[in-house]
Amino acid sequence: MSDTVWLSGITAHARHGVFDFERENGQEFTIDVGYEYDTRAAARTDSIDVAISYADVAATVHEALIAEPVYLIETLAEQLARAVLAYPKVDAVTVVVHKPHAPMAVPFSDVTLTIRRTRLTLVPGEPVRCVLALGGNLGDVPGTLRAAIGDLSERVEVIAVGPLVRTSAMTIPGSPAQDDYWNTVLVIETDLAATELLAFCQQVELAHGRERHERWGARTLDVDIVAYGELEVETPELTLPHAGATERPFVLVPWAGADPEARVRGLAVSELAAAARGEILEERGKWL
């Protein structure tokens, strides 16, 4: 559950814009912000210690508004959303940017942009290091994984590739037997929001014949987001880190190979991988 606190009319003289005179002279911007959080604990205790100070949020927005100028109000809105979502209790934020003195040749009263962001939809301010798990058990899986890595690298930067491991298929009890799976892990950096990265991974899956008919069914390609920076979130759409990140050998062993210093949920991936290695049927270090 989330409630919304609105701060309307936060105004400042700032230098955002694409024209030189906008950056030299500046102009007035006004910001409306609605930040969402569960206010019940604050209402129950009547304590500022469990609330979010709207004075603090207003100061944060004002400071971000007068910071280093950017060209576009789209960029400005994203930066303001990022500043508000830095408050741990905030679940989502709506930002309305008003630019009433924008340089236009026709009469108008205002130019506005409204965005709503959560931690999953927020565009990162700098590249985020993420972990992807790839696998499959239909067709030439190693070949498919090689091709999928090539496809992924067109939009994200691949930092490291883990070894290729073979494990028995995870299946629902009573379902037909399946061929063994081949899996690997990629460490990447991306400027995509978490939901954008998820959509891109699903596009790559579809490009390689992925079909979703049943849970844990056989597949040509699976691309899962295991970790997205330090983000911890659980939604119907996406859980980060991945729910199986601390227990699945076919993720842990290649992940430890790709990044020996990695940690997940406060635990060393290399130690988790060592404990799970007995379930690995085959491992190929140099396979690309």
Give how far the C-alpha of residue 253 lies from the chain's centroid of Cα atoms, to the nearest Å: 23
**Is residue 148 a contact partner of residue 287, using CB atoms and an 8 Å limit?**
no
Whole-angstrom distance, CA of residue 190 vs CA of residue 227: 12
Closest to 188 in 3D by CA, of 240, 128, 241 = 128
| Residues assigned a catalytic role | 99
3-class secondary structure per residue, the chain: CCEEEEEEEEEEEECCCCCHHHHHHCEEEEEEEEEEECCHHHHHHCCHHHCCCHHHHHHHHHHHHCCCCCCCHHHHHHHHHHHHHCCCCCCEEEEEEECCCCCCCCCCCCCEEEEEEECCCCCCCCCEEEEEEEEECCCCHHHHHHHHHHHHCCCCEEEEECCEEEECCCCCCCCCCCCCEEEEEEEEEECCCHHHHHHHHHHHHHHCCCCCCCCCCCCCCEEEEEEECCCCEECCCCEECCCCCCCCHHHHHHHHHHCCCCEECCEEHHHHHHHHHHHCCEEECCCC
The dihedral sign for the CA sequence 211, 215, 221, 226: positive
